[in-house]
Amino acid sequence: MNMYKKWQVPIIQGGMGVGISMGSLAGAVAREGGMGVISTAVIGFREEDAWTHPVEAGIRALKEEIRKAREISEGKGAIAINAMVVTTEYKELVNAAIEAGVDAVISGAGLPLELPEIAGDRDVMLAPVVSSGRAARLIGRAWKRHGRKPDFIVVEGSDAGGHLGFSEDDLLAHETQSLEDIVKDVAALDPEIPVFAAGSVFDAKDIRRMTAAGAEGVQIATRFIATEECDASPEFKKVILDAQEKDLRIIQSPVGLPGRAVDSPLLQRVDREGRIAPKRCRNCIQSCDPSSTKYCISQALIQAFHGNWEEGLFFSGANVGRIHGMTTVKELMDELKQGICPE
């Protein structure tokens, strides 16, 4: 597939679940020539049968968000999904997205070793998210057995928001490999595979720094929350706008991975009580045991989407303190493009 057939600007809007990056945001980014990304994480949470028929609800909601993004994009840019390997609906939602005609599937939160098998010979770009050259090499060997290699690779550094591909000890000790060094390592594996740098990328200066390290482009997530088109509630956006770097913390997510989030009352309550037992379970995460998990991450992210400060989990990248006000996707993309093609 010709990677740049429709995707004119090498800027990816990072996938943010639950409900933060959906059709509205993805479509607006694509309209500006970038790659807009819809997160599949618990995407059917607003459907009436979200808890009784989660797979069916997820497929229905995903196809609607893809349709919405396509309409908003006006045929420009590219539309992708971000699918977490650890989710129980992974295969079903990837298949549904490909059937709906997405341009790319970006997959992380686990090693997407089976992604080429799921996609088969269908015309879609496939991209793993990695945090090390070792992970990229492992995926490359696994995909080779299917006669496929990544169309591009997203390299996510330790300053990203949400789930992270580093050990909690290394994150807390600030002993992780720099994003530039990981980009150089991964880019050297196969010069034909474009690499996109993510995590700590904020402005045009950062983009130029990453392209100098060997990246084709970048993926940016948190900054897109503070746009009018972002699908998050105004209350969620206010949490991000008000947060400073000192308000962030590294957590151990029920998914089984460390993550970066705003230190909210929910997390403080878990610290005090040790556990908030889920009231019900939709079996969304393969690695989650409802009888022992510290809290239901799906419910926490749903509450965050609705702006519930007391019960929500608000993921954020390390640069959140540099966001000082609301903007539009067009204004943000025009600013970021200066790091790639300055006038």
Query: pLDDT tens digits for the chain (343 residues)?
Result: 445 455 689 999 999 999 999 999 999 999 999 999 999 999 999 999 988 999 999 999 999 999 999 999 999 999 999 999 999 899 999 999 999 999 999 999 999 999 999 999 999 999 999 999 999 999 999 999 999 999 999 999 999 999 999 988 889 988 899 999 999 999 999 999 999 999 989 999 999 999 999 999 999 999 999 999 999 999 999 999 999 999 999 999 888 889 999 999 999 999 999 999 888 877 777 777 787 889 999 999 999 999 999 999 999 999 999 999 999 999 999 999 999 865 5
- Round to whole Å and give the CA distance between 117 and 98: 13
The dihedral formed by the CA atoms of 187, 193, 198 and 203, expressed in degrees to the nearest 10: 90
Which residues make beta-bridge pairs with 322? Answer: none
Alpha carbons 150 and 108: distance in angstroms, whole number: 13
d(CA 15, CA 38): 6
The conformation of residue 14, written as its DSSP 8-state character, comes to P
> What token pair was written down for 246?
């000192």
The residues facing 153 across adjacent strands are: 195
Task: Compute the distance between CA of residue 101 and CA of residue 183 in angstroms, rounded to an integer.
Answer: 29
State the amino acid at position 89 in one-letter form. Answer: E
Domains with residue ranges and CATH for the chain: 11-232+323-337 (3.20.20.70), 234-305 (no CATH)
Which two structure tokens, joined as six digits, stand for 220? 């940016």
pTM (2 decimals)? 0.94
Q: What is the dihedral of CA 59, 60, 65, 68, to 10 degrees?
A: 140
pLDDT of residue 1: 42
